[in-house]
Amino acid sequence: MRIKDEDHVLVERTRQGDKEAFGELVKRHREAVHRVAFRITRDAHDAEDLSQDAFVKAYTQIHKFRGDSSFKYWVQRIAANTSLNHLKRKKRMVFSAEAEDANLERHPVHSHSHPDKETMRREMAERIEEAIEALPAVERAVFRLAVVEEMRHQDIASLLGCAEGTVSWRLHKARKLLLDCLEPANQREEEAKL
């Protein structure tokens, strides 16, 4: 019996109240679900919590699983949506005046400093990471999945439950936002060299 068939049997047993059957589903797909949550959040602790949340949602909504796809794919989509919602909530909390003040304290403006190349590379990497983090949650997830994890657009579309064209559009939007965000910093850097 194939894994997919075995999963469907376990789903049916879970629907009948067999908690051990669901425990087996969790054991089989825990790593795949965690991987999706981590790819989106880039935080191991959050990914662990969100993976657990995804399985809790899957258990409480097991009656909604129609069997059109594999259980693994279904629970991965739950994890992706849970992770994206988490990032949206987290982003709302981060954009406070205190966070802006803290950011200014961490990155003071030095008008006369001439850092060496390694320091400049490190600062650019930090600026890029900050720009990625500033992207809207969905665009950030698409960017990380496509560029960092090198997933195919088709796979990302399937995972996020949208059209492949939507993935391409969101990736294009993410790149444009990143360029717009990084352009002023690059211009200041070039002007400082003159």
Cα three-residue angle 166-178-167, rounded to 5 degrees: 10
Average pLDDT over residues 164-191: 78
Do 129 and 186 lie in one domain? The reply is yes
Do 156 and 138 lie in one domain? The reply is yes
Residue 4 has pLDDT above 80, yes or no: no
User: How many domains does the chain fold into?
Assistant: 2
CA distances from 136 to 91, 154, 185 (A): 8, 21, 20
| CA–CA distance, 30 with 86 (Å, rounded to integer) | 19
Domain of 11, CATH number, reads: 1.10.1740.10
Q: What range does the domain containing 70 cover?
A: 3-89
Do 48 and 120 lie in one domain? The reply is no
Do 106 and 188 lie in one domain? The reply is yes
Average pLDDT over residues 137-151: 84
Of residues 167 and 94, which shows the higher confidence score? 167
- Residue 115: pLDDT band (50, 70, 90) is low
Do 108 and 150 lie in one domain? The reply is yes
Residue 1 has pLDDT above 80, yes or no: no
Do 84 and 161 lie in one domain? The reply is no
Domain of 139, CATH number, reads: 1.10.10.10
Q: Check if the beta carbon of residue 171 is closer than 8 Å to that of residue 146.
A: yes
Cα three-residue angle 178-142-100, rounded to 5 degrees: 45
Average pLDDT over residues 96-125: 57
